[in-house]
Amino acid sequence: MIEQIKHVNQLDYIVIGVYIVMLSVVGVYLTRFNKTSDDFFKGGGKIPWWIAGLSTFVSGFSAFMFVAAAGYTYANGLPAVLMFTSAFWGYWLGYYVYARKWSRARLSSPMEFLTRRYSQSTTYYYTLLSIIPAILGLGLSIYILCIFISTALGIVSMEFNLGFVTLGGLEFTIVVAGLVLLIYTSAGGLWAVVITDVLQFIVIIIITILIFPLTFAALGAGEGVIGGIRTLVADSPPGYLSFIAVLKNPVFYLAYITNTMLGYNAAWYVGQRYYSVPTERDARKMAVLAGILSLILPLLWIAPTMAARLLFPDMNAIWPELTDPSEASFVTLALVLLPNGLIGISISAILAATMSSVDTQINYVASILVKDVYIKARRNITGEIPSERRQLRMGRITAFALGVSAIFTALIVQRTHGVFEFALMYYSWFAPSLLTPVMLGFVYTKTPSWSGIASVTAGLIVVLLANVAFDVSAYQYQVNVFGGVLASGLVFWISAFWKDRKIEHIKRIEAFRQDMRTPVTETGKQLDRNALDSYRIVGWLTAIIGAVLMILYLVPASIEVHRLNLIIGIGTTSVGFWVLFYFHRLTKNIKKQDDHIT
């Protein structure tokens, strides 16, 4: 099927351009939502739960899922299901425990939790440890995205003369993608992040629904989707459709699931979403939504990627320039099965997956630097707290600076392994040690104020020693995860034998305990104006995407593609207009309530 791979044409560029313009316009428009720094960093705590839930789910995605994870699925088969649906269990733990606790913490920035539960010194310490890894993670995400976008667009070997500098195709893609992120993230804040995440969710689910039936219909060779499934079952390599690999290396999969449970409950961006909605009931509802999506949607792209193993048995012949060609398996499905125009949407989907992850990281890291560092440092130096206008301006400047740093990091990062392996190791170096005191600190509050610093330090030292002093290369990921978690957790529990003596620490932690016992309930039935407007914006964006799909019906394609395109286009447009109808009904009801009161 190599000869059937299509090249991106002008129609695809137009579609991608429309998508990029939509993101930028939305970000600039949503500047009007931000009157205070709380609006910029937590949406004023008024973001509708379903928007926050979709944003939380999409933020856990990136090009890693469509690229690196696709490569793992292509090579290993069914065990990928266990790994890439594990977020489902993470969100269900969130539903029962952490959604409520993050909401009750009543925070304005994620790391404020560390100040309330431990100490201000702990927040500074975490900030010092977290910022550089966060910027490296941002650059890695953009790099993973752009190496495949530039390849799919056919510009990887081209040069672009910008007058003052000449950039290669990959570098040019990094700069353009980074600039779009800068525009809407530094302008619109968390409102821009969550609403554009909904847009990105729509694009991702559209391309996923398109690829799934078309892949199995192609594999069925005239016998339809069911025939394709039968072919996958009958012709897959030995062990490909079994969990034998899991049984042979259970510790690796247990480590992956452990890291996932940590990330989807203690990661700063998840906490930020949980306290950005009005009530703890809303926080639990968004955990349910994100959990269900994390179980269903990965299955819809895991299965086609497994089928790609039979459709494209020699990926090296297709992508000889890539270090790990199997990581292009999902992209190859799109280039083979979709007509031009829809290829542009598939590239936009991968663009969306990474942008939703990167914009989230930029916003929460900016909130940490402004709320937990800048404001407190300014107060200590001058004795004054900066005005809301100054905090908002500093938030935008910080988000912009982080975006620029991410672009430069992406430009200089070098790959030495396949993306999946590198990303896996990168997160295992830091996340287990940093996140374990967060998870434990929520559920057990009788350790002293210094226990957070001691715990994370112990975890990082163990991981460092394991990687430097011993040869654990065969089990490096497992050692990093379990070493970080166990060392950090052990020191946390041992520290409980010491008690705080300072009255200020005792009072602060007691206030935190009291908040943990006090539910966050709804203060009023009427929606915040920004929350109400978010329905209208999401409705119009959804309807526009549906309209683009119906226009693409005019592009020559197979009957199957035409049928799917039309059904999805009509469905998407209908959902958009239903959201608009719901917005007008809410507006009408609120107006009636106001008239009744007056």
The pLDDT value recorded for residue 416 is: 44
pTM exceeds cut of 0.85: no
Please provide the average confidence, as pLDDT, over all residues in the chain: 81
Per-residue pLDDT band for 2 (boundaries 50, 70, 90) equals: very low
Task: Give 594 or 313, the one with higher predicted confidence.
Answer: 313
The pLDDT value recorded for residue 491 is: 96
The pLDDT value recorded for residue 584 is: 80
Per-residue pLDDT band for 407 (boundaries 50, 70, 90) equals: confident
Residue with tokens 């975890």: 459
Q: Return the closest-CA partner of residue 231 out of 296, 311, 328.
A: 311
In this predicted structure, the answer to whether residue 494 has a pLDDT above a threshold of 90 is yes
CA distances for 496 relative to 125, 157, 216, 489, angstroms: 20, 58, 56, 11
Q: Return the closest-CA partner of residue 430 out of 136, 25, 216.
A: 136
- Contact of 441 with 112, CB cutoff 8 Å: no
The pLDDT value recorded for residue 523 is: 56
Compute the average pLDDT of residues 132-155: 72
157 — phi, psi (to 5°)?
Answer: -100, 5
The pLDDT value recorded for residue 423 is: 65
In this predicted structure, the answer to whether residue 374 has a pLDDT above a threshold of 90 is no
- How many contiguous H segments (helices) and E segments (strands) does the chain have? 27, 2
Q: Return d(Cα 401, Cα 394) in angstroms, integer.
A: 10
Q: Return the closest-CA partner of residue 112 out of 98, 124, 100.
A: 124
The pLDDT value recorded for residue 553 is: 81
What count of Cα atoms within 13 Å lies in the side-chain half-sphere of residue 570?
6
What residues does each domain of the chain span? 2-413, 528-598
Compute the average pLDDT of residues 70-75: 87
CA distances for 311 relative to 94, 332, 564, angstroms: 39, 10, 21
User: CATH second-level architecture of 2-413?
Assistant: Up-down Bundle (1.20)
Q: Return d(Cα 471, Cα 223) in angstroms, integer.
A: 52
Give me the amino acid identity at 186.
S
SS3 content of the chain, % helix, strand, coil (to 5): 80, 0, 20
Compute the average pLDDT of residues 237-250: 85
Sequence-ordered alpha helix ranges (H) in 322-447 = 329-337, 342-367, 375-382, 388-412, 419-443
Q: Return d(Cα 566, Cα 569) in angstroms, integer.
A: 5
Q: Return d(Cα 87, Cα 292) in angstroms, integer.
A: 9
Helix (H, G, I), strand (E, B) or coil at 596: helix
Write out pLDDT tens, residues 24-42: 777 777 776 666 666 665 5
Sequence-ordered alpha helix ranges (H) in 97-223 = 99-104, 112-117, 120-153, 169-220
- A 10 A CB-CB count for 128 gives 10
Tokens at 9, concatenated: 């044409």
- A 10 A CB-CB count for 506 gives 14
Compute the average pLDDT of residues 64-70: 74
Tokens at 45, concatenated: 């705590």
The pLDDT value recorded for residue 489 is: 95
Least confident of 247-261, 366-380, 447-461: 366-380
The pLDDT value recorded for residue 415 is: 47
Least confident of 222-226, 279-283, 391-395, 494-498: 391-395
Q: Return d(Cα 545, Cα 524) in angstroms, integer.
A: 34
